[in-house]
Structure 1
Amino acid sequence: MRGTSLALGAAALLMMAGCATTGGDQMANSVYATHRIVQKLDTDLAARVDKLNQTAADLSAKVDASDQATRQLQSMMEENQAKLNALQKNLDRFSQAMYRQLGLSPGTTGGVQVGPSSIEPPTGETPTTPAVPGEAAVPAFPGGTAAPVPAPMTAPAESPASDLSGNATADYKKAAESYMNDNFQEALTLYSQFLEKYPDSDLASLAQFWKASSYQKMGQWEQAVREYDTARQSYPMSKKTPLAMYNQAECYLRLGQQQRAIDLLKDVTTNPRYSTDATVEMARNKLKELQGQ
C-alpha cells in the first residue's frame, strides 16, 4: 500500500512537471508571436510615417511653387495693365491730334470755323500694299494702327450726296470728316464738288490729293492713278506731291505695272525738291524691296 502511494505520488509529480513544461512552452511561443507582430506593426508604421512625411514635403513644395506662380502672374498682370494704360494714353493723344488736324472737337460733326492748316487729314498717312489683290491699300497711321478698309466700291453717282454750304473751309472740313470716318464714297463726292466750286481755293490741292486717295481706298486703281496724275500736274508745288507719287506707284503695282512704279519712286528719291520730305525714305525702302536688295 505504501509502495503504491509512493508510486502514485511519483507519477503525479511527473505529470505536474510535464504540465509545467508544456505550459511554459506555450507561453513562450505566445510571447514570441506577439513580439513578431509588434515588430511588423512597428516596421509598417515607420514606413507609413515616412511616406506621409514625404507626401507632406511634396505638398509643401507644390504650395510654394503655386505661390511663386501666383506672384509671377500678378506681376505680369500689373505689367500688362501698365502697358494698356500707356497704350490708351497714346491712343488718346493720337485721337486728339486727328481732331485738331480736322478742326473738330471729340463728339462733334462740324460747325466750327477753322483755318486751312488745321483741317487737313493726317499727312503721315502712308498706304501699304494689301496682301489680297482687289482690296484697298491700308494706310499706316502714327503708332502702328491701321485704318479699316471697306470693300471695293463703285464710282460716285453724278448727283451730289449733299449741297455745299458756300464756305470753302466748312465744305472742305465736311469732306475730310467723311474721309476720316471711312466713308470714302461720300468723301469722293464732296471732294469732287469742292474742286468744282472752289478751283482757286488754297485747299484745292489737298482736296485733289484726298480725292485720289479715296479712289485708292476703294480699290479703283486706274481711276486713282488718273487723279494722282491730275494732282501732280495741276499742283506741282503742293506739299503732297511726293506722297501722291508714292501712292501712285502703289497703284501701278496693283495694276501689275512694276516698271512705272519703279520710275516714279526713283523720281521721288532723286528730286532735290523732295530731299527733306519723309516720303523719300519710304520710296527708298520700297525700291529696295522691288529690286530685291
Structure 2
Amino acid sequence: MKQKYVWPLLGCIAVLLLSTGCETTGGSQTKTTIYDIHKRMVKLDKELGSSVTQLTESTATLNARIDANDEQSRTLLGMLEENRAKLDNLTRELESMKNTLYRHWNLTPGSAPRTQKDVSVSNVTIEGPAVPAPPAPSPTPLPTEPTPVPPTPTAPTPVPAAPVPVPAVEAPAPETPPAPPVPDQTKNVLEDSAPLPVGNVQPPPAAPATLPESTEVAAETAGAADPRLLYQQAQRSFANDDFSSALTQFDAFLSGNPDSDLSANAQFWKGKCQFNLSQYDDSVKSFESLRGKFPSSTKVPFAMHNQAVAHSRLGQTNEAIRLMEAVIEQYPASPAADQARADLRKLRGE
C-alpha cells in the first residue's frame, strides 16, 4: 500500500523539480535578451545623437548662407535699379545731345522734317517748296547788296541799318520776292551735313559783317598778323549769309595758308559758299579738291554729300546717286550717310 503511494509522490516531486529548472533557464535567457537590446539602443542613441548634432550644424550653416545670399541679392537688386536709373539718364542726355548736334549741323534727325523737302526727279533738284531755285543765279547779287554802302567815312551810318536785311532774309522766306534766299537756306538745312561755322562767331562790331570792302581790308590786315583771324572773319561772313565775302576770305586764307590745320575746313566752306551762290560747277571742283588734298579730313563725307547734291542741281543724276551711295558705303555711321539715304530715296522717287 505504501509503495502504491510512493511512486506517484516521487513522480510529482520530479515534475516540480523539472518545472522549476525550466523557469530558471527561461528567465535567464529573457534577461539576457533584454540586456542586449538595451545595449543596442544605447549605442544607437549615441550614434543618432552625433548625427543629429551634425545635421543641426549643417542646417545652421545653410541658413546662414541663405541669409547671406539674400543680402547679396538685395544688394544686387539695388545696384541694378541704380544702374537702370543711370542708364535712363544717359539715354536722355544722349538724346538731348543728338538733337542739339543735329540742330547745330542743320540736319533732320527724324523722317518727318525731311518730308518738307521734295525731289523733282525730272530736273533732280533736292530742294524745298521753292522748286524754281536751280535756274536762279539771282541769289548771287543778294549777298553783295550791302556793297553799295557809302564810302568808308560814312560807313557807320548804314551799319545799323545793314544788319536788318540779314535776319530779314530768313523772316520773309514764304514771300515771293525773297524766294531766292529761301532755297539757299533750305539747301543749308538739307545739305549742310557739317556744322555751320557759328562757334565764336559773334562779331563785336556789326560793320565788318556787312561791308565787304572793309571786311576784306580788315581780314587781309588781320590775316597778315594771324591767319586764324582771317579764318574767323570768313566764318562770321558765312554765318551772316554774306557768302560772297566769305568766299573771298576763305580763298585768301587758303592762298596764304595751304598747309594749315584749318585748310581742310576752309576748303569745305569755300565749296559751301559757291554752292549757296549757285556756282555748282565751282562747288563740285572745291569739294573734289578737298577729297584729293585732305582724304583723312572729317569733312570728306560731308563734302561728298554736298558734291552729290551739286551734281543733282546740274542735272547729273547718275553722278549724284553714285556719290551718295559711296558716302553710305564708306561712312555708314556718319550723319552725312543718314542724309544721303534720305536724299537717295527722293532721287529715286521712293
Between Structure 1 and Structure 2, whose CA radius of gyration is higher?
Answer: 2
Higher relative contact order (CA 8 A, sep 6+): 2
After TM superposition, the score normalised by the length of structure 1 is 0.49
After TM superposition, the score normalised by the length of structure 2 is 0.42
